[in-house]
């Protein structure tokens, strides 16, 4: 009997390495796919940059794991598509004074769309990743349900809320039932070279996390100096470019004040940063757009759900009400700090991801 072919998105990290190994142990025919998201050389000067070195290292690590497991490994060049669908959006959002989440967009637009199509072309029956999340199917509705990973500290369901039912039907998350320590234990038992590889918290296309030079090179106007305003609209200082600031930030304002000042908002029309007291950062109600309903087809009415506005946030109880097919109004039970435009709000019912979307919050809502 021919074994079922499963493609594994191998990033060069321990989670995807173990995902491939576990599937192989279960008897599947496994093939490794690694995305090439950046060119090997800088366009100017011909010198390899940090992004390229990191990308090359990931490919080499993934290839080494595949070789050790005895599975075939393929590098899929998605640089142009990644630039068009993820990097440009990231830059454009920052230029608008918003804080995007490129990992959410990459999962939806690149990994589970383009890489999944590559897997399908190879006759794979599914695409597995190293995400700490779980999938199950509702026996009544037949709908695929996305759930939190068993390891609450490593849960990555927040980054997967934008996936469609078709994408989820083709997905597998082999490490979702394991803790991170268990993943490393499996990797050690199998002698995988990535067993002790440290995790990276960086944006993959901005090694070191210093996004300001990266953004300036693409949107010079976002690095233009402008006024710092108080909540009443009075000029209280000057800034050196809106891309230096995000909501809730305290450092870098350079204003002498009897009380600490924080970034309350960014007004791109006036190229202004709005600053004020920390208490003005707290809010309860906001709108979510581009909502994707995951484990439910929608809401029948106002629902009490747990909502996360940041990936590492524990989640807070809130009333969620649909105000259109892809728009929701969210009202927290207690005020939350720095509800940030451009970030994702994800709705949960216990472990179940109900849906999520992009936070919309006009700068005026921060102003008195």
Work out the percent of the chain whose per-residue pLDDT is above 90.
78
Of 5, 3, 4, 56, nearest to 34 (Cα)? 56
47 has a pLDDT exceeding 50? no
Which strands sit side by side in the sheet containing 72-77, from one edge to the other? Answer: 72-77, 29-36, 5-9, 126-128, 171-172
d(CA 168, CA 160): 9
Work out the percent of the chain whose per-residue pLDDT is above 70.
93
363 has a pLDDT exceeding 80? no
287 has a pLDDT exceeding 70? yes
**Reported pTM:** 0.91
How far are the Cα atoms of 20, 63, 64 from residue 70, in angstroms, in the given order?
11, 10, 10
Q: Are 56 and 40 in contact (CB under 8 A)?
A: yes
- For domain 224-276, the CATH architecture is Roll (2.30)
Instruction: Quickly name the fold that domain 5-190 has.
Output: Rossmann fold (3.40.50)
In this prediction, residues 55-60 reach a mean pLDDT of 80
d(CA 195, CA 182): 11
Per-domain residue ranges of the chain: 5-190, 224-276, 282-366
In this prediction, residues 183-190 reach a mean pLDDT of 96
Q: Are strands 316-324 and 352-360 parallel, antiparallel or unpaired?
A: unpaired
Residues linked to residue 107 through DSSP beta bridges, in sequence order: none
pLDDT range class, residue 42, cuts 50, 70, 90:
very low
d(CA 51, CA 37): 9
In this prediction, residues 346-360 reach a mean pLDDT of 97
3-state secondary structure of 87: helix
Q: What is the pLDDT of residue 1?
A: 66
pLDDT range class, residue 211, cuts 50, 70, 90:
confident
Residues linked to residue 302 through DSSP beta bridges, in sequence order: none
Q: Are 73 and 34 in contact (CB under 8 A)?
A: yes
Give the DSSP per-residue string, 131-172: -SEEEEE-TTT--EEEEE-S-TTT--GGGGTT--HHHHHTEE
In this prediction, residues 287-308 reach a mean pLDDT of 94
Q: Are 228 and 252 in contact (CB under 8 A)?
A: no
365 has a pLDDT exceeding 60? no
Q: Is the dihedral of CA 300, 304, 306, 307 positive or negative?
A: positive
Task: Find the helix packing angle between 180-190 and 14-25, rounded to 10°.
Answer: 60
41 has a pLDDT exceeding 70? no
Q: What is the pLDDT of residue 367?
A: 46
pLDDT range class, residue 362, cuts 50, 70, 90:
low
350 has a pLDDT exceeding 80? yes
45 has a pLDDT exceeding 50? no
DSSP assignment, residue 199? P
The burial class, CB within 10 Å (0-12 / 13-18 / 19+), for 254 is exposed
48 has a pLDDT exceeding 70? no
325 has a pLDDT exceeding 50? yes
Tens of pLDDT, residues 95-134: 888 999 999 999 999 999 999 999 999 999 999 999 999 9
282-366, superfamily in CATH?
Answer: Translation factors (2.40.30.10)
Q: What is the pLDDT of residue 300?
A: 87
d(CA 244, CA 227): 13
**Average pLDDT of the residues of the chain:** 91
The burial class, CB within 10 Å (0-12 / 13-18 / 19+), for 243 is buried
Q: What is the pLDDT of residue 237?
A: 96
Of 329, 328, 327, 356, nearest to 343 (Cα)? 356
d(CA 254, CA 86): 32
Q: What is the pLDDT of residue 44?
A: 33
In this prediction, residues 229-247 reach a mean pLDDT of 94
pLDDT range class, residue 188, cuts 50, 70, 90:
very high
Catalytic residues: 106, 204
Q: Which of 203-212, 294-303, 333-342 has the lowest mean pLDDT?
A: 203-212
49 has a pLDDT exceeding 80? no
In this prediction, residues 54-61 reach a mean pLDDT of 79
How far are the Cα atoms of 212, 215, 227 from residue 269, in angstroms, in the given order?
20, 18, 12
How far are the Cα atoms of 55, 174, 193 from residue 189, in angstroms, in the given order?
27, 17, 11
Give the H or E element holding residue 332.
strand 327-337
Q: Which residue has the higher pLDDT, 364 or 167?
A: 167
Q: Which two tokens stand for residue 299?
A: 């809401």
State residue 280 phi and psi, 5-degree precision. -75, -10
Of 124, 108, 115, nearest to 35 (Cα)? 115
């Amino acid at each position: 009997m021919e074994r079922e072919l499963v493609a594994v998105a191998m990033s060069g990290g321990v989670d995807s390495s173990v995902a491939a190994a576990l599937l192989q142990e279960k008897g599947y025919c496994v093939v490794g796919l690694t995305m090439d998201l950046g060119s090997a050389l800088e366009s100017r000067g011909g010198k390899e940059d940090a992004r390229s070195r990191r990308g090359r290292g990931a490919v080499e690590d993934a290839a080494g794991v595949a070789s050790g497991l005895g599975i075939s490994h393929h590098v899929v060049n998605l640089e142009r598509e990644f630039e068009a669908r993820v990097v440009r959006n990231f830059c454009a959002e920052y230029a608008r004074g918003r804080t995007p989440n490129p990992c959410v967009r990459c999962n939806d637009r690149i990994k589970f769309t383009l890489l999944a199509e590559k897997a399908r072309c190879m006759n794979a029956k599914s695409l597995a990743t190293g995400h700490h999340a779980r999938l199950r199917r509702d026996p009544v509705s037949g709908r695929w349900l996305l759930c939190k990973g068993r390891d609450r500290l490593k849960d990555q369901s927040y980054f997967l809320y934008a996936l469609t039912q078709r994408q989820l039907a083709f997905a597998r998350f082999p490490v979702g039932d394991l803790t991170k320590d268990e993943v490393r234990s499996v990797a050690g038992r199998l002698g995988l070279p990535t067993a002790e590889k440290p995790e990276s918290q960086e944006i993959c296309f901005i090694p070191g996390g210093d996004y300001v030079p990266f953004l300036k090179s693409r949107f010079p106007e976002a690095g233009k100096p402008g006024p710092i305003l108080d909540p009443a609209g009075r000029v209280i200082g000057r800034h050196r470019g809106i891309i230096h600031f995000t909501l809730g930030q305290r450092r870098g304002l350079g204003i002498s004040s009897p009380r600490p000042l924080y970034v309350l908002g960014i007004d791109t029309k006036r190229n202004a940063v709005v600053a004020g007291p920390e208490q003005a950062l707290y809010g309860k109600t906001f709108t979510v757009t581009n909502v994707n309903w995951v484990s439910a087809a929608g809401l029948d009415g106002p629902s009490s759900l747990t909502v996360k506005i940041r990936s590492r946030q524990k989640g807070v109880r809130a009333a969620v009400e649909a105000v259109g097919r892809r728009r929701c109004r969210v009202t927290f039970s207690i005020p939350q700090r720095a509800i940030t435009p451009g970030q994702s709000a994800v709705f949960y019912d216990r472990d179940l991801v109900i849906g999520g979307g992009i936070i919309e919050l006009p700068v005026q809502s921060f102003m008195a």
